[in-house]
Structure 1
Amino acid sequence: MSRRYAILDVFTNTSLAGNPLAIVLDSEGLSDEQMQKIAGEFNLSETVFVFPPENPGHSANMRIFTPKLELPFAGHPTVGTAILMAKERFGEVSNEQDAVVVLKQNIGTVRCAVILRENAAAFAEFDVPSLPEPAGPTHNVELIAAALNLEPTDIGFENHAPSRFRVGPPFTFVPVRDLDALARAKPVQSMWKAGFGKDGHNDAYVYCRETRSHDSAFQARLFAPDMGIPEDPATGSAAAAFAGVVDYYDDLPSGTHHIRIEQGFIMGRPSLIDLEIDIDGGNMHAVRIGGQATLVARGELFL
């Protein structure tokens, strides 16, 4: 049986940058084992499998796999799938075309606003399906530094210290003092579980306040070696959880806060993630993730 697929570069407005994503259309009849093997065959950070919606008000059901396991939610697959679903619906457009795409994921229903543009990268923004929440304590700074090939003095800036938050899968957020420390970070496999835990979601999101562009607020790197992802060029679910970090340490005032995050620059896949946080009366009320994506390939799987 022939099954269509597409490859998109997500969180970028140019091809061969950002985070590549495989999306398998016509996924009906695939078993969990087959989907996991297909994700391993693509060997990208995530592969999406699209199914017809169970609810007629939805655009599609989708499941997300890394090369080693299934995820309940992820950001760059949501942005990429929303844009591809809009392209499937409208085809080539003149000027601009707005669309609303509703995707059912394992975490719940995710609403996405999409803007298709003629001869330009499309943009999608989605409402994060649940607010970030603390995900337990971190290990001590010495173990975290050793797992990242850093010195303990590299860890932390201002009042920021390592923390754990989650929207779906948890992440350990590790602040480092500057771009030099960020560039020197790399996973030390023999120390990874000691620094970040033994469960399947022991991912490290390393970030600093120093950036390449004055329009950005943070630069970050994401390491997930136990998930088969040595480094991820752009991680929307981590950016969603990072809203909890920013709110906790930066004590955001009431209003809507627009925060641009650079990721993937050090590994040669520059990505820009737009994070919006709504604060009212000292409480977080909503989080949104947005970014651009480009379609770079289409093909068929014969399975």
Structure 2
Amino acid sequence: MTEYDAGIVDVFADEALRGNPLAVVEHADDLSEETMRRIAGEFNQAETTFLMKSSRADWKLMSFTANGSPVYGAGHNALGAWLWLAYMGRLGDLNTPKTFQQEIGDAVLPITMEKRNDRFFGTMTQGPLVLGAPLEDVTTLETALGLGRGAVLQDPPVRTADTGAGHLMVRVKDRKTVDAAKPDAAELLKVLRFAGAEGCYVFSFDEKKPETAYARFFNPTVGLWEDSATGTAAGPLAAYLDRVGKLGPDRALLIEQGTRMGRQSFLPIRLDSAPQLSGTGVVVMQGRLKL
């Protein structure tokens, strides 16, 4: 029998049972990808992240959804893993901020960890913004989302935005419209394939309050009906809004997500040369995985 340190972290939350839960498994170097997929199914969380040694970074991260689909980019899958390492004492003294390197897929990205008032915080740098072609006709998308004609706005145009994972950015009229979305998974999948996107980020944005947005995330591509906090969608949304000149002068955005699910989350992003995504979390389960 082999045992692994493992647990669950509620990410983008300052109290238990909020934010987005992430299962974490440490020292997973000897596990095959097939076994990792099966473990992710066993945990049955939105995502499970496996921590391994790396010749290119401080840690290598591999993440899978409950149906075994791989997850890339620096989102809740990465932040939660580093919060776990911090709370387990694997990162040393963080009263002074320290920057580490994380290997995720082909990318090596920095993350800065620090301790504030007995709580750990991480700030991750995502990749540069890559935009897909605008989606000219949104009527099929509106139908797929269960919304009426005219619900989807084209300012900025609906398109795929990517800072580590490509998601379709869909602006709607208001918060009420965001909450009204009831996607048809099969129809939404067709739109996402056409747009070259993995998931769909439906958001409302008040240009009189450019520092905040309200969003929901749907990703039938990897078996996620709805996700409560999606860093790999929040980062490109902020970068896209900045690209089209819709953010305020401080180039920062706070996104509220997960409220409709009963797991309210807040994702703060600041734009530099690339999105800087920050957050904290709470370890809600700690134990041993026995195989």
Alignment TM-score, normalising by the size of structure 1: 0.86
Alpha-carbon displacement from aligned partner over 1:20-62 (angstroms, at most 9, x marks no partner): 001101202111111111111112121100012324xx32111
Partner of 1:269: 263
- 1:290 corresponds to which letter in structure 2? S
Q: In 2 relative to 1, CA 242–266 (structure 1 residues): closer, same or farther, beyond 3 Å?
A: same
Partner of 2:39: 38
Partner of 1:103: 102
* Segment of structure 1 superposing worse, 82-91 or 220-229: 82-91
- 1:72 is displaced (CA, Å) by 2.6
Alpha-carbon displacement from aligned partner over 1:215-269 (angstroms, at most 9, x marks no partner): 951011100123111000001011121133202333558x641211111011111
CA distance in 1, matches of 2:189, 2:136: 10
Partner of 1:282: none
Alpha-carbon displacement from aligned partner over 1:82-102 (angstroms, at most 9, x marks no partner): 222223336898x94533332
CA distance in 1, matches of 2:278, 2:179: 25
Structural mapping, 1:27-176, within 5 Å = 27-55=28-56, 58-67=57-66, 68-89=68-89, 96=95, 98-119=97-118, 121-128=119-126, 130-138=127-135, 140-156=137-153, 159-176=155-172
Please tell me whether the aligned partners of residues 189 and 221 of structure 2 are also in contact (alpha carbons under 8 angstroms): no
* Segment of structure 1 superposing worse, 148-157 or 84-93: 84-93
- 1:199 is displaced (CA, Å) by 8.8
**Unaligned segments of structure 1, at least 5 residues:** 279-284
CA distance in 1, matches of 2:187, 2:205: 26
Please tell me whether the aligned partners of residues 21 and 80 of structure 1 are also in contact (alpha carbons under 8 angstroms): yes
Partner of 2:245: 250
CA distance in 2, matches of 1:180, 1:199: 25
CA distance in 2, matches of 1:90, 1:99: 13
* Segment of structure 1 superposing worse, 84-93 or 14-23: 84-93
Partner of 1:187: 183
In the alignment, does 2:289 pair up with 1:294? no
Partner of 2:199: 203
Please tell me whether the aligned partners of residues 113 and 124 of structure 1 are also in contact (alpha carbons under 8 angstroms): yes
CA distance in 2, matches of 1:18, 1:92: 25
- 1:193 is displaced (CA, Å) by 2.8
**Unaligned segments of structure 2, at least 5 residues:** none
Please tell me whether the aligned partners of residues 85 and 101 of structure 1 are also in contact (alpha carbons under 8 angstroms): no
CA distance in 1, matches of 2:240, 2:112: 25
- 1:66 is displaced (CA, Å) by 1.4
CA distance in 2, matches of 1:289, 1:153: 32
Secondary structure of 2:221 counterpart: helix
CA distance in 2, matches of 1:252, 1:2: 48
Secondary structure of 1:77 counterpart: helix
CA distance in 1, matches of 2:284, 2:117: 16
CA distance in 2, matches of 1:50, 1:91: 13
Please tell me whether the aligned partners of residues 74 and 235 of structure 1 are also in contact (alpha carbons under 8 angstroms): no
- 1:296 corresponds to which letter in structure 2? V
- 1:200 is displaced (CA, Å) by 8.7
Percent of matched pairs sharing the same residue: 27
CA distance in 1, matches of 2:159, 2:198: 13
Alpha-carbon displacement from aligned partner over 1:246-298 (angstroms, at most 9, x marks no partner): 02333558x641211111011111111111113xxxxxx23211111111111
